[in-house]
Each structure stands twice: as C-alpha cells, then as structure tokens.
Amino acid sequence: MSDLLGVAVLGAGHMGADHVRRIDRAVSGARVAAVADPDTARAEAATAGIEGVTLHADPLGALDAPGVDAVLIASPGPDHEEALLAAFARGLPVLCEKPMTPGSAGALRVMEAEAGAGRRLAQIGFMRRYDAEYLRLKELLDSGRLGRPLMLHCTHRNVSSPAGFTSAMMINSSVSHEVDASRWLLNQQITAVSVLRPRPSAGAPEGLFDPQLVLFETSGGAVVDVEIFVNCGFGYQVRCEAVCESGSARIGEGRTMVVETDGSAREEVPQDYLVRFVDAYDREVQAWVDATRQGLVTGPGAWDGYASAAVAEAGERALETGGRVTVELAERPPLYA
C-alpha cells in the first residue's frame, strides 16, 4: 500500500459522487484511484479535476485497476452482493452503503464468503453511528443515568421519493437506518415487526403507502416506533427520542439558520440527507480509512447488514399482511462475536 489508500468507488450517482468528493477533499490518508459507473459521463463529471483516477463502466475493472487498495460501494442495492464477493475474492477491504444486500439470503452468502476469507473485510454504511447527536445519545443510554430504555420514538421524513420507489423500499431502504440505530442504541436485537398504514398522503405517488408507522419489539422488552414519510414535501428530518425509566432524551432538533424579516421568522429545514448528515459521513469514511490502513474493521459489519436485512424482510411481510411478524436470525458466526 502506498502512503495514500487507493479507493475504488463503485457508483457515481448522488451518493457515489459525494463520496468521490469526500475522499478527494475532506478525508486524509486516501485518494480516489478508480470510479466505476455504467454511465461514463456521470463518472467523468464526478471525477472532474481529480488526477490519477481511472474510469470504468464495469465495476470489476475498477477493482482490478492499478493502485486500488480498498473499495467503497455506492451502487444500487441489488448490485452490492456481486461487488462484495468480488472484493472479498481479491482481499480488498470494503465500505458498502446500505442495504448490504436486498434480502437476508444474499446477506448470509456475503457473511459466508467473508468467513471464507478468514477475516472481516466489510464495513456497512450505517452512518448514524458516527453522527454527533446519535453518539451523545448512545453514551447517555450506555451510562445508565436515565435508567433502562423503554421506548424509542423515531421520525424519518424526506421531501420526496425517487421514481420507482415502492412501499417495501420505505422499509428495506429508508427504515433500515432506524433498524440499525435501534439495535445499536439499545444493545438489543429486534424480535418482531408490525406496520400500520394510515391513509396515504395526497403528495404520495399513486400506489405508494406513504406514510407508514413501523413498530419494533426488541429482545430486551423495549418498543420502537418509526414514522416513515418519504413525500412530506417540506424537508428532510430525522429525530429520535429515548424514553427511559428516569427521564428522556431527544435528538434531531438542532437549530439551523433563522431568518427574520417582514414581521415573521423562518427557520431553514434541510432538504437532503447529505446536508443533515454531512459530518457523520465525513467521520464514517475517515474512520474507515484509518482502520483500513491498520488492517482493521471497526464499524458496523456484515452481521449488522444481515440483521438489518432480516428485520426488513419481516417488515415487508408485516406490510403485506397487516399482522405482526417475528424476526428469525441465524446463529451469529464466530467471526462477528
């Protein structure tokens, strides 16, 4: 490995292009060595002004490019399993955006392949673990100062959903962040999922059940409710309140700029997750680079990606049936103990 970790970025869309910018301008100890995207014009736009980077239409070509030491996967979810397996076969460490795989069967194959490599290679992109507010809440809950956590109330709102976004994707893509955050904050597994569907908003595309109220039960007896509303129309909001035996703590209400004019006050609302969580993404990628240069994986791994996929599958069944669905997890492999 050279002085800088050479990273191949797979995917140059909204998320991938932001990671290219991040590695080039905001993260120390790494450089963009290769970028792969079927849309070569998009890859060219993402890497404009970056020297020494090679562009590829085929992700496998990027993995085999000179100077590549590690991989950041920001391609669509259905492409993740193939990219992860290819990276493992080459012994390349990976930071993979969520979902690790669209389903639990694929996640089990990823874990099996990683175990075959003999060491952990994958970190999964649950970046809320790196957000300053979430870290403070985690520290408070772990300290026990508020007593045992009883409930989490979560809100997850987007301005609008992209074309082709489905009701199931609201759970397996959007709510996957709340799945991991809940498991991490509470140090508990999610054991059952229920989904309630109010009347769809007038702003939701035809056929999309938006909003939804997703309920988790946990192995420690806590209950988590998640309002997921992906066409709220006014901004991007992520909030979480922990209700404990001796008090509560709430995050996600950080103040932005307030404009006062013409006898009124207006507070800005972020319009995008890359705005709300920019610092978390920066810390996440920096931590991954630092750990990778030491031959370590310190963040959420393939087991966390699998657990999220298994909960999401239960949530999809709950959405379809209107009933409570239990979550069945495979035995945790020793590699992830």
Q: What is the pLDDT of residues 264-314, one digit of tens each?
A: 877 778 787 878 899 999 999 999 999 999 999 999 999 999 999 999 999
Give the pLDDT confidence score for residue 2 in this predicted structure.
58
Find out whether 25 and 31 touch, Cβ atoms under 8 Å.
no
CATH number at residue 168: 3.30.360.10
Asked if residue 200 belongs to a domain, the reply is yes
- Identify whether 63 is part of a domain: yes
Residues 184 and 265 in one domain: yes
- The angle subtended at Cα 90 by Cα 180 and Cα 335, nearest 5°, is 45
Residue 332 counted as domain residue: no
CA 142 – CA 223 distance, rounded (Å): 17
Q: How far apart are CA 171 and CA 148, in angstroms?
A: 27
**Same domain? 171 vs 320:** yes
Alpha carbons 124 and 99: distance in angstroms, whole number: 8
Residues 104 and 248 in one domain: no
pLDDT value of residue 267: 76
Strands 190-196 and 70-73 come out as unpaired
Q: What is the average pLDDT value for the chain, to the nearest integer?
A: 95
The boundaries of the domain holding residue 139 are 131-275+309-326
Helix (H) or strand (E) holding 229: strand 223-229
Answer yes or no: do 231 and 285 share one domain.
no
User: Looking at 37-90, which runs of residues are DSSP E strands?
Assistant: 54-56, 70-73
Do 57 and 143 reside in the same domain of the chain? Answer: no
User: Does one domain contain both 236 and 284?
Assistant: no
Residue 8 phi/psi, 5° resolution? -95, 125
90-to-16, 68, 94, 113 alpha-carbon distances in Å: 22, 11, 11, 12
Judge if 65 and 18 occupy the same domain. yes
pLDDT of residue 315: 98
- In terms of domains, do 86 and 139 share one? no
Count of domains for the chain: 2
Domain assignment of residue 334, yes or no: no
238 domain-assigned: yes
Residue 102's domain is classified under what CATH number?
3.40.50.720
* Pair 80, 179 in one domain: no
What per-residue confidence (pLDDT) applies to 256? Answer: 65
DSSP 174-191: ITHHHHHHHHHHHT--EE
Amino acid letter for position 280: A
**Category of 49 on φ-ψ map: left (φ > 0), alpha (ψ -120 to 50) or beta:** left
User: Which pLDDT does position 54 carry in this prediction?
Assistant: 98
Do 199 and 318 fall within a single domain?
yes
Query: Within a domain: residue 337?
Result: no
Q: Check: pTM over 0.75? Answer yes or no.
A: yes
Question: 99 and 166 share a domain?
Answer: no
Distance in angstroms (rounded) separating the CA atoms of residues 336 and 217: 23
Would you say residue 331 lies in a domain? no
Specify if 335 maps to a domain: no
Q: What is the pLDDT of residue 135?
A: 97
Q: Which residues pair with 229 in a beta bridge?
A: 157
Query: Are 240 and 159 contained in the same domain?
Result: yes
CB contact set of 118 (below 8 Å; sequence gap of 6+): none
Q: What is the pLDDT, as a whole number, of residue 337?
A: 86
Q: What is the pLDDT of residue 270?
A: 79
Q: pLDDT tens digits for the chain (337 residues)?
A: 459 999 999 999 999 999 999 999 999 999 999 999 999 999 999 999 999 999 999 999 999 999 999 999 999 999 999 999 999 999 999 999 999 999 999 999 999 999 999 999 999 999 999 999 999 999 999 999 999 999 999 999 999 999 999 999 999 999 999 999 999 999 999 999 999 999 999 999 999 999 999 999 999 999 999 999 999 999 999 999 999 999 999 999 876 667 776 888 777 787 878 788 999 999 999 999 999 999 999 999 999 999 999 999 999 999 999 999 999 999 999 999 8
- Give ∠ CA 175-180-184 in degrees, rounded to 5: 145
